[in-house]
Amino acid sequence: MLFALGILLSAAAAATTPDAEIKTRAEALAPSLVAVRRDLHAHPELSNREERTGHLVAERLRALGLEVRYPVAKTGVVGVLRGGRPGGVVALRADMDALPIDEQNDVPYKSLTPGVMHACGHDGHTAMLLGAAEVLAGLKARLPGTVVFLFQPAEEGAPDGEPGGAPLMVKEGALDDPKVEAVFGLHVGLGVENSRAGWSDGALLASSDTFTIEVAGRGVHGATPHLGLDPIPVAAEIVLALQAIVSRQTDTQQPKVLTIGRIQGGTRFNIIAEHVVMDGTLRTFDPAVRADIQARMQRTVKGVAEANGTTATLRFQDDGNPPTVNDAGLARLAVPALERVFGKDGAYRARPLMVAEDFPLYGQKAPTFYFLLGTRNPAKGIESVNHTARFDLDEATLPLGVRALVTLAWDFLAPATPRPAAR
């Protein structure tokens, strides 16, 4: 009996996440994390065009001895690391694409591609996930299960008419072989102070739906609107009526944003326009609220146009992104892991943000958990927000991100609270 207990205890101890070793290994990688991140930063590539990046990632994973599938979902890479001990399967995800922004930072690693910039920190995500692969490969013999590394293209949105991003990764089987049981991901920046980790056990990021509204008109001389059909006042009414959905028709306790970001119509001050086109975005934290507002928008656009004797159409582009809502069970496991890496104060419950991600689409296949990694550091002049020409990240945080990813994966494979033994 005592003998059996001894075996059980030593088995549990062997499987326990080796925090100290992960820390040492991640910190030893600091110079190479910076070097990889700077190399990617200097060579940014737009969505679905991450040729150099995907190739670099695939080569590095092969050099670490991982099984590599490449390309997946256009330019993506899936790496598989099978541990020396039996166990489950967990996935870690990074996105790799840059944005069409002309970098304004004066840094040695400034973008070498005019008009393209890693302004969302995906260079950091890619470098950290490569670092996590290196740390875990070094501990492979003791790893109790399998880790799948997802290097995803086109998080910022594939070019018009092209599939891409998380949905294409899922469609091409990135989570199927081996069958992934949980997916973890992170995002840098977003205003979070350096070396802190923002988590949630529910909604963390919003859904996002891009839409286009077209109002039909009939052009005539601007002095005789009654002889034509002016779409501009109809468009104005639609804009206001849509805001009434937010302010008057839906629960004030359910956060939502409905923005019309662009209106185009007309050619000259004294000509009634032929039509008006408007684009916008809808953000919510709840799939039911999202569906309800979409239906109300259809009704409103149609109704206002009809009342004015014209027609208008509302079209949502592709499927949009669902809200990023963390699985509560995974959060129970993940929060203690983040607290061990970032400290009790460093890991904090984050307020949900209205920005969006395609990460939750992995949730079609497995529960997901996502957190914010703080890389803002005013003392170093690193203050600009994501998607701006002066965005940068505090590279001193990179080893922390590596530790967090490795710790989350290992904790999932070897839960601190042992599962009840089979009888």
Cβ at position 391, least distance to Zn ion in Å: 9
Amino acid identity at 69: R
Segment lying near Zn ion (by CB under 5 A), choices 67-75, 114-122, 172-180, 341-349: 114-122
Query: Among 13-21, 102-110, 119-127, 326-334, which window interacts with Zn ion (CB under 5 A)?
Result: 119-127
In the complex with Zn ion, which residue's Cβ is closer, 77 or 120? 120
Complex with Zn ion: residue 120 or 137, whichever CB lies closer: 120
Minimal distance in Å, beta carbon 164 to Zn ion?
A: 14
Which is nearer to Zn ion, 90 or 120 (by Cβ)?
120
For residues 54 and 111, the answer to whether their CB atoms sit within 8 Å is no
Which of these ranges, 118-126, 140-148, 159-167, 228-236, lies near Zn ion under the rule CB under 5 A? 118-126
User: Rounded CA gap, 172 and 203, in Å?
Assistant: 27
Q: Please, what is the minimum distance in Å from the beta carbon of residue 81 to Zn ion?
A: 25
φ/ψ (deg, to 5) at 150 = -105, 110
204 binds Zn ion per the rule CB under 5 A: no
* Nearer to Zn ion among residue 125 and residue 290 (C-beta): 125
Nearer to Zn ion, 277 or 385 (CB): 385
Q: How far apart are CA 370 and CA 324, in angstroms?
A: 8
Rounded Cα–Cα distance for residues 148 and 127 (Å): 16
CB of 87 or CB of 189, closer to Zn ion: 189
Binding-site string for Zn ion from residue 35 to residue 64, where x marks contact by CB under 5 A and - marks none = ------------------------------
Residue 351 makes CB contacts below 8 A (sequence gap 6+) with: none
Q: Which residue matches tokens 């970098």?
A: 103
Residues linked to residue 216 through DSSP beta bridges, in sequence order: 275
> Residue 395 in contact with residue 218, Cβ under 8 Å?
no
Closest-CA residue to 161 (of 51, 283, 48): 48
Helix (H) or strand (E) holding 21: helix 19-28
| Most distant CA pair in the chain, distance | 98
Interface with Zn ion (CB under 5 A), residue from 98, 116, 120, 273: 120
- Which one of 117-125, 241-249, 304-312, 364-372 is the stretch in contact with Zn ion (CB under 5 A)? 117-125
Rounded distance, CA 338 to CA 342, Å? 6
- Can you tell me the distance from the alpha carbon of 261 to that of 12, in angstroms, rounded to the nearest whole number? 55
Cβ-based nearer residue to Zn ion, 120 or 305: 120
Q: Taking phi first (over 0 means left), then psi (-120 to 50 degrees means alpha), and beta for anything else, what does residue 260 get?
A: beta
Considering the complex, state which of residue 154 and residue 408 has its C-beta at the smaller distance from Zn ion.
154
Rounded least distance, CB 313 to Zn ion, Å: 29
- CA distance readout (Å), 142 to 113, 137, 273, 309, 412: 42, 10, 69, 71, 14
Applying CB under 5 A, the site for Zn ion has a residue count of: 1
Place of tokens 């070097």: 35
Which residue number has the CB closest to Zn ion?
Answer: 120
Comparing CB distances to Zn ion, the nearer of 120 and 276 is 120
Give min distance, CB of 395 to Zn ion, in A. Answer: 17
Window contacting Zn ion (CB under 5 A); options: 43-51, 115-123, 244-252, 330-338 = 115-123
Stretch that binds Zn ion, among 24-32, 49-57, 116-124, 343-351 (CB under 5 A): 116-124
Helix boundaries (H) for 308-382: 328-346
Q: Note the residues at the interface with Zn ion (CB under 5 A).
A: 120
